[in-house]
Amino acid sequence: MNCRFCKAELNKVFVDLVNAPASNSFLTQEQLDEPETFYPLKIYVCGECKLVQIDEYKKSDDIFDKDYAYFSSFSTSWLEHAKNYVDMMINKLALNTNSIVTEIASNDGYLLQYFKEKNIPCIGVEPTSSTAKVAKEKGINVIEDFFGSKLADTLQKSDLILGNNVLAHVPDINDFVHGLKIALKENGTITMEFPHLLNIIKENQFDTIYHEHFSYLSFYTVKQIFEKQGLKLYDVEKLPTHGGSLRIYATHLENEKKDIFDNVANLLNEEKDFGLFDIEIYNNFQEKANKVKYDLLYFLLQAKKENKKVIAYGAAAKGNTLLNYAGVKNDLIEFVVDKSPYKQGKFLPASHIPILAEDEIKKMKPDYIIILPWNIKGEVMLQLDYAKEWDCKFVVAVPKLAII
């Protein structure tokens, strides 16, 4: 395999999580008796540009199919994040009824609905018909396709192009970023949000690795990728979302109206000091992933011996990575609760743990609830605060096992 950005040969393994089915390939009752397809989940790091990446074992058009089950609007904290972003960008860029906003991977309209409320023309690009259908029902104009340079040629140029948690999802990152340049107005701005590789390493967030994520991104590497396509990063913000993310601001290299903020140099220095520019920092991640795995298994086996009832909350992709790498099945976790009706009644891939509605918690009165999407643990604990009535404890496994 060659690096998907710089084409250098890849021979350095960052972490090997062995084999797993696609993290969002939830199963029906009938599918439990059918064979499942497992794909290698081995991640490499490029010795040249330091892009951390997976080989495209499972094609993106298979992963993001018409029945894609992830709907952004089921997280209240994520909706609040989206609304705050819209208000901020309207002020920052002086957007109005004559502006054009394009969101790539617009999902179910979770964000564009707030631009629409402000009467700012907006377009969504979303390849999954299940989520696009919901966005269209909100009155949002959605193009059902994958974004790249070919599609960008057909779009009206935008004042703002945004993408939340999509840059890591594209197999051809060079063509994707080239498309951003094509679709951007002369003085326009691009913002992209993605989990920060520094935090992934620092906080042992190996469960953010799954087949949907083709790349794991540092600011250092993203800056190289954008500059290669004629775009400059003029600002960057750190965000608490997804365990620590970055929001980058980009524009055309030739746009002299945008000065480069000190944040750019400051973050590059921070990444350099942490060691992201050197290959050595990528050496010990396997051991960190293994420790999380062993600690979780020890906890579950002890709970089983003590006849404690354990369930999980959140049928999240990161949860599937954790459970499948640890080899957890439905004998150790009885069920997982999820707010999304699109997931309820189905089963987690590989582990075959059933996905149920929240009212099952009060029926069972479990001793422990493992919060799989640890990045929204505050939101979940507030939502399930009633479980304290029977002395139920919350558990997270990442960055290390904690009983709350």
What does the pLDDT read at residue 57? 60
Architecture per CATH, 146-282: 3-Layer(aba) Sandwich (3.40)
Kind and range of the H or E run holding 179: helix 173-183
Q: Provide the residue type at 92 as one letter.
A: K
Phi and psi for 356 in degrees, rounded to 5? -125, 170
Domain 285-403 has CATH 3.40.50.720: yes
- CB of 22 closer than 8 Å to CB of 211: yes
Residue 262, amino acid:
D
Residue 76: predicted pLDDT: 87
* Predicted pLDDT of residue 389: 97
The pLDDT value recorded for residue 62 is 56
Helix axes 285-305, 317-326, angle to 10 degrees: 80
Q: Where in the chain is the domain with CATH 3.40.50.150?
A: 146-282
Report pLDDT for 79: 94
Tokens of 71: 């709907």
Q: pTM, whole model, 2 decimals? A: 0.92
pLDDT on residue 342: 87
Q: Angle at which helices 219-228 and 262-274 pack, to 10 degrees? A: 130
Which residues of the chain are in CATH 3.40.50.720 domains?
285-403
Averaged pLDDT in 10-residue chunks for the chain of 404 residues: 96 95 91 94 97 76 54 83 98 98 96 98 95 96 97 98 96 97 98 98 95 95 98 98 95 96 98 97 96 98 98 95 97 96 95 98 98 94 97 97 96
> Is-contact 216 43, C-beta < 8 A?
yes
